[in-house]
Amino acid sequence: MRRKILVNGTLWAGFTSVFTPRVLFAEADPTFENPLTSIDTLPEFINALLDIVIQIAIPVIVIFIIYSGFLFVTARGDTTQLQKARTTFIAVIIGAAIILGAKVLAAGIQGTIEAL
């Protein structure tokens, strides 16, 4: 118990000695540049945001599809485990359809608004 406290205290002391001076003595930059320089309108922002969400979501979707396959393999005929695997797989597919369909939905709404 005492060693754990000493290690945590040592880590905390090291963390604060490294990061505290950077926070306390940071100089304020009076100019703030827009990180979204190429985005001028709300539809462009939504499309850029959806692109980022999709880039993050696709690997997560793949991992959860693999996980649901793992659940199917490890079920070995157990009906409750098979039901859990089916539920997981269906939830992943529905989530993927919602995330990937958001881009199509946003494009459809943007086209409708521009047509008006």
pLDDT band at 29 (very low <50, low <70, confident <90, very high): low
pLDDT at 34: 63
Name the one residue in this structure whose structure tokens are 């199917």: 72
Instruction: Please say if the pLDDT value at position 17 is more than 80.
Output: no
pLDDT band at 84 (very low <50, low <70, confident <90, very high): very high
Give the residue, 59 or 16, on which the prediction is more confident: 59
Instruction: Please say if the pLDDT value at position 47 is more than 70.
Output: yes
Q: Which helix (H) or strand (E) holds 54?
A: helix 42-75
pTM exceeding the 0.85 threshold for the entire prediction: no
Instruction: Please say if the pLDDT value at position 28 is more than 80.
Output: no
Q: Structure tokens of 18?
A: 């490294």
Average pLDDT over residues 25-41: 65
Sign of CA dihedral 96, 99, 102, 104: negative
